[in-house]
Each structure stands twice: as C-alpha cells, then as structure tokens.
Amino acid sequence: MERLFFDHLRKKGIIFTSNPCNMQKRTFLKSLGLLAGSIPFVSLDAAAKNSAPTTLLPKAIQKGDTVGLISPSSATADRMQFTYAKEALIALGFRVKLGVNLDNRYGHLAGTDLERAKDLNQMFADSEVKAVICIRGGSGASRILPLLDYAMIAKNPKPILGYSDITALHCAIYSQTGMVCFHGPNGSGSWNSFNVRQFEQMFFAREMMTFKNEQPKGDDLVVKANRIQTLRAGKVEGKILGGNLTVLAALSGTSYYPDFQDSILFIEDIGEDPYRIDRMMSTLMLNGTLSKIKGFIFGQCSDCVPGGGYGSLSVDQVIDDYILPLGIPAYTGAMIGHLPKQFIVPVGAKVQMDSSAGTFTLLESVFSS
C-alpha cells in the first residue's frame, strides 16, 4: 500500500525519493492524511520531543548561480511584484528560475497545497538551482509541511531565504534535517543598500558576521532609531532558533517544532495586539521552550499596540513577565522582523550573543563549501 502511494506521489512530482523506506513513516502518514482530507494531518507522536538534529550546512552560492523563486504561502495580487523580485535577484548577480506554480492562486494561497509543495520539492531536487528564494510570506506555509520530501532536501542542502510565514519552512526543515536556513528578506521585499550589503556579506563573502543595529542619529539630540534595550546583561553561546512568533506558536506540539535545548531564541511579529503576544508567549512557556533557552532576542513587533476596552499590558510588560524570571541574557529591539532594513539570521547556526552590546556573532561557517 505504502509503495503504491509513494509511486503515485512521485508521478505527481510531489516527492522525489526513489525508495519509500528512505522517507519516515511519519511523513508518509501525514501526506496520506492531507491528500485524503485536505487537512494537515498530525501523527499520534507529533507532540513527542524532537531530539536536536545534527547541523547540516547548505552549499555555498556565488554570483552567476541559478536561484529558484517560489511562493509557498499567500498569493501575490500585484503582478509587478513578480517583476520586482526577479529583477532584484538578477541585480544581485543571479540567474532566476521561476517555480512552475509561482503565480497560481487558490483562495488566499499561491496555488493548492500540492502545487506549492511541488515547487519547493522541485527546486531542491533540481541540481541547476543553488538556492531557493521565497517571494513573500503571508499565510499557508504550514499546510504544505507534510508534503515536503525532507530526505531529498537533506541530500541536496541549499540556502532557503524568507521570513514571516516562511518561519514554518525554516522550523520544519531544521527540525527534520538539521539544515541551516535563512530568516531574511523575501524576493519581493525591500532590497535597499543595507539588505544588499547583508546578503553579499553572508552569501558571497561568507563572513563571520556580527549583527548589530544600524543607528542613524539624524537631527535629534539623541539617537532614537533602532535602539536596543538590555533586559539582562551577559554573553552566551548557542544555536539561534526562532522566527515569527505567531507561526512558531502555531507549530507547538507538532513534529515540525524545533528542539530549543540550550539555544538562543529570537522572535518577531507584526500587527498583533499585546494580549495575543501574551497568549503566544504563554504557549512557549507551557510547552517548555522558555525553560530550555540560554538567551533571548526580541526583534521588532511592528504595529503591536494596545487596543481599546479595559486596557492592556504593553508588549514590553509582556516580554518582561516571561523573560526576566528566566535569569538569562536577553535584549529587545534587534533589526529582525517586518522592517525595510533587516538582518539575515542563519537559523540553526551557532552564535555568541552579547545582550549588553545588543549583538550576536557567528562562531562557525554556515556553508559546507
């Protein structure tokens, strides 16, 4: 039965594993459930603790390489966004291969779950494609997680870049394969000089980067832009894991949720009332994440202001309530999140964080060659 089903998936171009024994039965069962009911299927042991995977480094890229542009989440309504994304990648020095289903639409999604998963799987299976760029976030990436061929991805490690809803892909790929992924600008996002410089330092120069906020003084008496706040001073080393808080909390209890033991957690979000931030932080407390981490970095929570009614905690108060009792080095205000200028964070890489300086620094290469 399983072999016949895998043969069907290969014919449809959804998976590329030649031997069904190479794919975990958990992945098979999830795929079967999703295809049968169009609802993501969570296996019975999904809530079991995931052991930290061995780090898998993607292969290095260079100018002249071909990169794949895909849309694993929401649809893109403005056709010019496809043009902007392609032109930006060409300007960075790449040749661009578009996903077959890039401009599809299924409700708010960029195609059906099968179509979006197929594009991602095909880009990783394609030896010509050296990196995968997500055109945008939005919503829906978690729906395709059971359809991804993680065994094949592990055999063809390559950078995958995006943020916001793409956190679902970063978490799933890291938890299933150990591969370092990259939380940073989407293809249709802002490619200003700061982001371009970050990209070139990370991917072309392959520097052991230190991530520190850019702080233009402007005409004010004091610097106000991109200020950090140290919640607890200290230095700590560990793997940096995290991403968009909403997506991260939604993955709690699934097999795609990373093991945060001895890690440095980074989070960001946009357009969430503080009470929702509080609810999601409580999820990270109750599922044991906060008790495992060694350090904490809060990026930007854009447009996360209290609403009307009887009043609300502020985001600062929420973060203080959950993080200060941990007694770990922590700071807020990092240039991570829904910002024109943002860090490219290598998810799963070993870093040293200095919460007094508001920095984190790569300690090891994030590429295999």
What amino acid positions are annotated as catalytic residues?
Answer: 164, 268, 338
CA distance 41 to 24: 15
Task: Please name which of 136, 340, 356 lies closest in space to residue 228, comparing C-alpha atoms.
Answer: 356
Residue 142 phi, psi dihedral angles, 5° rounding:
-65, -25
- The secondary element (H helix, E strand) that includes residue 131 is strand 129-134
Task: Please name which of 156, 159, 166 lies closest in space to residue 116, comparing C-alpha atoms.
Answer: 166
Using DSSP's 3-state secondary structure scheme, residue 158 falls into coil
SS3 for 248-306, per residue?
HHHCCCCCCCCCCCCCEEEEEEECCCHHHHHHHHHHHHHCCHHHHCCEEEEEEEECCCC
Strand partners, 79: none
CA distance 248 to 175: 12
Are 294 and 328 a contacting pair, CB within 8 Å?
Answer: yes
